[in-house]
Structure 1
């Protein structure tokens, strides 16, 4: 439960002195007030039209229409149709729970098959409590059996803050800055780049931003890192924060990337999206399939100070976030669809790794990511969007515990940084209310046939260990200069053609270093005449001899792909039929959207001994016929293995 901000000065009340929570209702509005925060919602639509706090009558943009201030929205489509944007407006208002300590109100929009609308009944809830410096929101989405088919593309809560107040954005310890004004993105004040979200600011109100690139995707974050983000007003020192106490209701698992805050000033609570993945993340409801899911609660946290710096408000918001995480799952939501502690269970166990060619013994899966998601194939958690997911990281000895898992049937999935491949435990994991499931020890048998001939990269599901060039000075976001996330700069894909104007990348596994010599994204090459052509990367390696019995194995792991076709050839780049062809795969668009990864994919390629030769060898990786600059792939890891000998088989 959120407490009144520790950064507030002049409002130090004891808990017993906190005013009662008040509900004020009139014909068109509902007002929730606890003496610290005053939230105004339209009735029966349930749009947040005003937030009074810290001496400001309204933190939301008063120049916007009321419908465009604080709202739940979604994108959806009929099967085979185009996307439809929908601001969710309730048609029925009710007071669910009201006393001196808490008020919870509901705004329901019921599905009407006679209307053109998403086939969902949506119940939006807003909660304010005594003494709290903020309010909560969650929603129950339900698709009843027999209702129309549809795809859910995205859903979220969006807040549009006052542009005359909120200029400073903070989304991580090392990602904080003054931001441009929204008018700076007007057509007369900027130049659009390769896609609408990215612009160069040509006539900003603040000269400091002259020539900078602005793009909301530069501020994306993985779910596991996206716990708190928001804005600070220096005129009346006030902070506005979105806090996620849990990831369980967000789609795509712990590595799913989502938007946070961006120029507007806009602050987003993203629950479900296809960003950095595309269509595979859109759940498809067919044949009248019933479905229900609770999104949230999330906390809109507010803090203020009479003195201090932005860092003080940021640190306070982080402290509140830790408190919310520790309080999860909350015991106060009135909806029975939100499962409380007694309706959940825990899972514990230990994961070990077997890879005889990397480790002499079975070793603990150190810092492994382990998660429960709906039953499916290996790696299916990446695209699972209908159910809940629960993730944790093991300790250095491979022990892990997943707490407060909703009752149900799951598979246990995972992956181990530094170890290739996907882990999935055989059989289902059944969680009963109040249960503790001890999975004891499990062994991840990592993909492996024989000894490593050579390897490129680190199997960590990202491309950040490879060479990421400096940005073109024409396309700079100053936040990311000398920053660990240097891949966030716009236009890095163009640097490949500048580095390799006439010939493509050649990498010698004996003399080259992947951090300096392996470009982070395999993209097409732009010729001098402006045409885009296939690019063929060459990996050179030596073999003292070729093992003639058995098959070599090439492991190709990709951190991302976008409509890519990668063809593999050994020792002859011109043979008409490649030795291996991925066919077209991926809709991640992580290259254009400044990501280090999209969806993880791996290919295991049987390599015949006759394709290789004693002495010098070359493997050619061709990105075939890219249609635009954003068609391409990011490698995670490449490895060539010898055939397993009889002794190797005995060891295994």
Structure 2
């Protein structure tokens, strides 16, 4: 551009000439900058935007070290051949992932293995080979594979095929993995398998995992300036960037959920207003059934989907492969959904509501019809199972009644209740309606057992016959009847048979700590740090005593049976007493104490009747559990059911006492959480034939 400069005031010609020279230089600089190429990151985004404006659909750009999937909404960059997600561009933001992290620490799958030369190290499942599976205007699918060889160089003895999929009109992308072991592979144990995304710390501050757990979160720096408590995950915030957070504890385990409830969670940035969401449309590929708890999103900002873990279960949920056993499983797909709305600048929950709607769409679309792998079965390759479940407890029900809102599922063949520790196969669960009707759809081919658990009823149901599914199967089971365990009439009971300790007394938080900002304080009261410490505060001298007929389990039964804290990291076993009166005793018969536990962590529960010192105890569970639910703010872990027979000669007319001693004292959070306790009267035989 040419310009003409004129001096109007001769008296200031010298000064004006200087100004003109500077203006001329600035203009030339602007012209020069105009012709210089932009920085590489900006150039890539601008080039992508120009190409999108002229081409519709989804596109794949394969470069020397990266592959870029893009449509007119977003672009995703992955490293070749590793298959690491290094960048996600959306709404003018070049990268939503944390660019301060190395490329292998932004978006990745990972696993932890034990055995076969692996000793618990993190394996990010990086590929050694890259392949384009599908590439057209409607869908792009790419594959990153790693095959095991006997040299051991390629890591654990498992073949890995990680896939990424993008559709032309979709505001997000899908990812799934196919894990396979061939005949003759050596033994190995898988502790963890998950997919992780780490977002930009300077953008994402608002997190949502459920309607009652959505809030502005502390930053990683807030944790660094805080005080680490009993374990590294729990940090007391002392100098947070937001003063309202001072005195709170941050712990990623506050945001765990049951698998059945982990369908969508993620983060929101309010400027620009962008949401990043992990959507899991099916739980069929997760281990442990519908009540297995997993992490969701937490400070990082991090969001993840976990397929295998010990969380709230322990080593029972490790996937243990023996020498030579072949195996294959598809994990996922999960959907990474991005959304934006200017109204979210002032109300970020708007994007949460939108993410829930999108989650419903993804669930309705399952199984997807666009996945290329033959190992992922489509709708016409699957089957359905339907029926109606009743429950018949002769003491409560004159005849079978509908098992209202029971959880009914298909899982690998095993004993009743084995599904909660099953970890190699697929599981398919549904909640029955009020009338006990259940309809399980989209079941993969295979042979299963059908299981159920009924709210308010103790124990586990298992259908007596195997169920085989082939493509197009429609299995009609008709009327099924669950008969819960019972030997005699109920003399008394404590709690509600719901597989949790939620109905018992959850104490207020220590006054030295600030209550977390959850929207439903009652529902989430157990999601606070250090509640196990409150037992010693509330019972400083003597242990808990519960008197049947007088005490109220909602106020007088502490939610966790933990050891007494003596200080200096020493702990003592605690003995709770249940006192009750019997008007008469049948000394020739037997009574039954039903003990249902909602959780156990390195615990031993000893039972004594009317003699608190007898050795050995009348009954012991032995050392059980490793779910760590007490420390991790869970209200349940794995479910345990014990039936203890009491001879009538061991009871007396009048006052009786059952002593429950929790003998595990290895840490402050060893112990059990009770689900339900019931004393049944003398044995009775009842004809419970279905009517």
Q: Please classify the TM superposition score into its range, dividing by the shorter chain length.
A: over 0.9
Of 314, 322, 327 in structure 2, the residue corresponding to residue 286 of structure 1 is 322
Counterpart of 1:445 in structure 2 is: 483
How far off is 1:479 after superposition?
Answer: 2.1
Counterpart check, 1:185 vs 2:230: no
Counterpart check, 1:194 vs 2:233: no
Of 616, 638, 641 in structure 1, the residue corresponding to residue 680 of structure 2 is 641
Of 37, 55, 58 in structure 1, the residue corresponding to residue 92 of structure 2 is 55
| SS of aligned partner of 2:674 | strand
Counterpart check, 1:595 vs 2:634: yes
Q: Work out whether residues 501 and 527 of structure 1, in 8 Å CA contact, stay in contact via their aligned partners in 2.
A: no
For residues 151 and 469 of structure 2, the distance between their equivalents in structure 1, rounded to whole angstroms, comes to 40
Counterpart of 2:499 in structure 1 is: 461
Counterpart of 1:353 in structure 2 is: 391
Counterpart of 1:9 in structure 2 is: none
For residues 71 and 550 of structure 1, the distance between their equivalents in structure 2, rounded to whole angstroms, comes to 61
| SS of aligned partner of 1:523 | coil
For residues 139 and 88 of structure 2, the distance between their equivalents in structure 1, rounded to whole angstroms, comes to 17
Range 254-263 or range 524-533, more displaced: 524-533
Counterpart of 2:5 in structure 1 is: none
For residues 109 and 358 of structure 1, the distance between their equivalents in structure 2, rounded to whole angstroms, comes to 57
For residues 687 and 278 of structure 2, the distance between their equivalents in structure 1, rounded to whole angstroms, comes to 54
1:612-651 to 2 correspondences below 5 Å: 612-645=651-684, 648=686
Counterpart of 2:120 in structure 1 is: 83
Of 82, 101, 105 in structure 2, the residue corresponding to residue 45 of structure 1 is 82
Counterpart of 1:4 in structure 2 is: none
For residues 550 and 497 of structure 1, the distance between their equivalents in structure 2, rounded to whole angstroms, comes to 39
Of 272, 281, 305 in structure 1, the residue corresponding to residue 341 of structure 2 is 305
Counterpart of 2:214 in structure 1 is: 176
For residues 465 and 334 of structure 2, the distance between their equivalents in structure 1, rounded to whole angstroms, comes to 33
1:528-579 CA-to-partner distances (Å, cap 9, x unmatched) read: 7764111000001110000123210000000000010111111111112211
Q: Which has the larger radius of gyration?
A: 2
Counterpart check, 1:251 vs 2:265: no
Q: Work out whether residues 476 and 490 of structure 1, in 8 Å CA contact, stay in contact via their aligned partners in 2.
A: no
For residues 226 and 350 of structure 2, the distance between their equivalents in structure 1, rounded to whole angstroms, comes to 33
Counterpart check, 1:434 vs 2:495: no
Q: Work out whether residues 546 and 613 of structure 1, in 8 Å CA contact, stay in contact via their aligned partners in 2.
A: yes
For residues 80 and 448 of structure 1, the distance between their equivalents in structure 2, rounded to whole angstroms, comes to 49
1:260-308 CA-to-partner distances (Å, cap 9, x unmatched) read: 0000000011111111111100011112100100000100000001224
Counterpart check, 1:508 vs 2:547: yes
Counterpart of 1:11 in structure 2 is: none
Q: Work out whether residues 462 and 636 of structure 1, in 8 Å CA contact, stay in contact via their aligned partners in 2.
A: yes
Distance change in 2, residues 1:543/1:17 (3 Å)? farther
For residues 620 and 18 of structure 1, the distance between their equivalents in structure 2, rounded to whole angstroms, comes to 75
For residues 674 and 550 of structure 2, the distance between their equivalents in structure 1, rounded to whole angstroms, comes to 20
Counterpart of 1:142 in structure 2 is: 180
Q: Work out whether residues 392 and 688 of structure 2, in 8 Å CA contact, stay in contact via their aligned partners in 1.
A: no
Q: Work out whether residues 118 and 156 of structure 2, in 8 Å CA contact, stay in contact via their aligned partners in 1.
A: no
How far off is 1:625 after superposition?
Answer: 4.4
Q: Work out whether residues 466 and 519 of structure 1, in 8 Å CA contact, stay in contact via their aligned partners in 2.
A: yes
CA RMSD of aligned residues (A): 1.6
For residues 280 and 457 of structure 2, the distance between their equivalents in structure 1, rounded to whole angstroms, comes to 30
Range 459-468 or range 395-404, more displaced: 395-404
How far off is 1:586 after superposition?
Answer: 0.5
| SS of aligned partner of 1:63 | coil
| SS of aligned partner of 2:324 | coil
Of 471, 479, 482 in structure 1, the residue corresponding to residue 509 of structure 2 is 471
Counterpart check, 1:208 vs 2:244: yes
For residues 31 and 528 of structure 1, the distance between their equivalents in structure 2, rounded to whole angstroms, comes to 57
Q: Work out whether residues 506 and 558 of structure 2, in 8 Å CA contact, stay in contact via their aligned partners in 1.
A: yes
For residues 167 and 275 of structure 1, the distance between their equivalents in structure 2, rounded to whole angstroms, comes to 25
Distance change in 2, residues 1:529/1:217 (3 Å)? closer
Query: Paired residues, what number?
Result: 634
Range 56-65 or range 528-537, more displaced: 528-537
Distance change in 2, residues 1:133/1:139 (3 Å)? same
1:111-122 to 2 correspondences below 5 Å: 111-116=148-153, 117-122=155-160
For residues 160 and 437 of structure 2, the distance between their equivalents in structure 1, rounded to whole angstroms, comes to 40
Q: Work out whether residues 116 and 157 of structure 2, in 8 Å CA contact, stay in contact via their aligned partners in 1.
A: no
For residues 538 and 18 of structure 1, the distance between their equivalents in structure 2, rounded to whole angstroms, comes to 75
| SS of aligned partner of 2:343 | coil
Q: Work out whether residues 116 and 156 of structure 2, in 8 Å CA contact, stay in contact via their aligned partners in 1.
A: no
How far off is 1:435 after superposition?
Answer: 1.0
For residues 317 and 212 of structure 1, the distance between their equivalents in structure 2, rounded to whole angstroms, comes to 28
For residues 625 and 248 of structure 1, the distance between their equivalents in structure 2, rounded to whole angstroms, comes to 35
Counterpart check, 1:161 vs 2:199: yes
For residues 436 and 627 of structure 1, the distance between their equivalents in structure 2, rounded to whole angstroms, comes to 51
How far off is 1:626 after superposition?
Answer: 1.2
Range 475-484 or range 331-340, more displaced: 475-484
Distance change in 2, residues 1:645/1:98 (3 Å)? closer
| SS of aligned partner of 2:342 | coil
Range 528-537 or range 257-266, more displaced: 528-537
Q: Work out whether residues 81 and 129 of structure 2, in 8 Å CA contact, stay in contact via their aligned partners in 1.
A: yes
Distance change in 2, residues 1:78/1:482 (3 Å)? same
How far off is 1:81 after superposition?
Answer: 7.1
Counterpart check, 1:381 vs 2:381: no
For residues 531 and 432 of structure 1, the distance between their equivalents in structure 2, rounded to whole angstroms, comes to 57
| SS of aligned partner of 2:363 | helix
Counterpart of 2:30 in structure 1 is: none
Distance change in 2, residues 1:172/1:625 (3 Å)? closer
1:437-468 CA-to-partner distances (Å, cap 9, x unmatched) read: 01111111110011001000000000000000
Distance change in 2, residues 1:651/1:126 (3 Å)? closer
Distance change in 2, residues 1:344/1:438 (3 Å)? same
For residues 239 and 70 of structure 1, the distance between their equivalents in structure 2, rounded to whole angstroms, comes to 16
Counterpart of 2:356 in structure 1 is: 318
Counterpart check, 1:545 vs 2:584: yes
1:38-91 CA-to-partner distances (Å, cap 9, x unmatched) read: 000011111000000012111000111111000011111117974221111111
How far off is 1:649 after superposition?
Answer: 5.9
Q: Work out whether residues 487 and 684 of structure 2, in 8 Å CA contact, stay in contact via their aligned partners in 1.
A: no
How far off is 1:122 after superposition?
Answer: 0.7
Counterpart of 2:65 in structure 1 is: 28
For residues 655 and 491 of structure 2, the distance between their equivalents in structure 1, rounded to whole angstroms, comes to 13
Counterpart of 1:584 in structure 2 is: 623
Gaps of 5+ in 1: 1-15
For residues 66 and 483 of structure 1, the distance between their equivalents in structure 2, rounded to whole angstroms, comes to 42
| SS of aligned partner of 1:280 | helix
For residues 373 and 352 of structure 2, the distance between their equivalents in structure 1, rounded to whole angstroms, comes to 32
Counterpart of 1:234 in structure 2 is: 270
1:520-539 to 2 correspondences below 5 Å: 520-527=559-566, 531-539=570-578
Q: Work out whether residues 112 and 191 of structure 2, in 8 Å CA contact, stay in contact via their aligned partners in 1.
A: yes
Counterpart of 1:96 in structure 2 is: 133
